[in-house]
Structure 1
Amino acid sequence: MTTTPDLPRERWSARARRHPSAFLLAAQLLSLLLFPVLDGHEGRVVFGGFSVLVLVLAVWVVNRTPSVNWIAWLLAAPACVLSLLSVLFDSQTLLVWSSAFEAAVYFYAAVSLIVYMMSDHRVTTDELLAAGATFTLLAWGFAYLFVVCQHWYPDSFAGAVMPERPRTWLELLFFSFTNLSATGLGDIVPLSPAARVLTMFEQLAGVGYVAVVVSRLIGLSILRASKR
């Protein structure tokens, strides 16, 4: 007796294998939509679980690149455990350590995707999606570093609203996006030397990413179109 293959499932699986970066980018963007409604301890529980999912997707994307996969898992495992424990026990110390490991995972995944995009002279759909996913990985990675910096060096950041209080996660992520994209709205300002050094490193990373990686993908896309 023959069975009819599940074509929708096979197509979905094939797309997942061809475009793993799309799932990571979609998860990152979806988490942005969840931030405004995830407030309070219950929201932190939901977001903690969602963060673990994003970390797993980041490791999966690394697995699709030439990078060493066990390094990603070595960083992601403690990040997942510490992230969940920080939510369950509402511990700021555990949150800071989980942020440090999550930053390492995101940076490693971003570097892996950059190596993947620079490894050949043709542009695929997945590489274009990887360009967007890499930008979000860098923004998240620096945002987690800002969380660590704010904990180790109090009063590292001031804001236009209630400048004396510590900045929230969403504020630091917003600052990271504006800094990485060179938008520089200026409503959040780094004050401590450590915060300013991290800010300068992110500015350098943003300019370098656009100048080297994005411009290369655009140039190869134009070259491919001209050959047609």
Structure 2
Amino acid sequence: MTVRALAVDFGGTLARPGPSPDGATVAAALKELEATVVPDGFAAVFEDAARQVRQEDRAGGIQSPFAEQLARAADACAAVIPDPQAATEAVFTAVPDAFVDARAAATLRRLHASGLVCVLACDTQRPETVRRRTLRGAGIEDCFDALVLSSALGVRKPYPRFYDTVVEKAGCLAEEIVFVGDTPAKDAIGPYEHGMRAVLVTSGPRPDGLPPPVGVIGDFTELPAYLEALND
């Protein structure tokens, strides 16, 4: 079967993951916003709320909006955040996003130029505007025909609806998609069980329990050679 599309993970695959926002950074960003009231102690309250939301999300396979973390913290300490969307943008402008590897970016441009549909498929707290800004800065925003982000979709990998959306956005059959990422359960086993081909990016040995059809490469830059061999 011809490969027509790539679904590509972000952090750990194309980029070095960026930090999660800590309470002090969030508090400082919010204080710059008009009509926002951030009392003393907000930083610690936010970190507790964020930890609780992340635990619930992982247990349920969902991705709550970052604004939910802000809302819970605000309710717990009488903070006032009148515009949660503006607050989210402000926080993730203050917190660096992942750093895209230049060699990976060049490889992606080459693959997209070859005619492959490319879909960014990743779990992230960051809103699409922030992730697009990062992609634009790395010169690869136009390489992606679609973005599937857990922050926008509301579910995380390996939840089936995430993969359904990847297939929909790719615009082809699941078996014509190669999913590439660095987390076995989310980027290899999950996509494979959903009917896609999968390639795991890892510098270590092949993980136990990985289905035999799933490929393994040491770095994203090895993907063109892997695809060429797959099509032979």
With the length of structure 1 as denominator, give the TM-score of the two structures: 0.27
Give the number of the structure with larger relative contact order, counting CA–CA contacts within 8 Å between residues 6 or more apart.
2
Task: Flag the structure with higher helix content.
Answer: 1
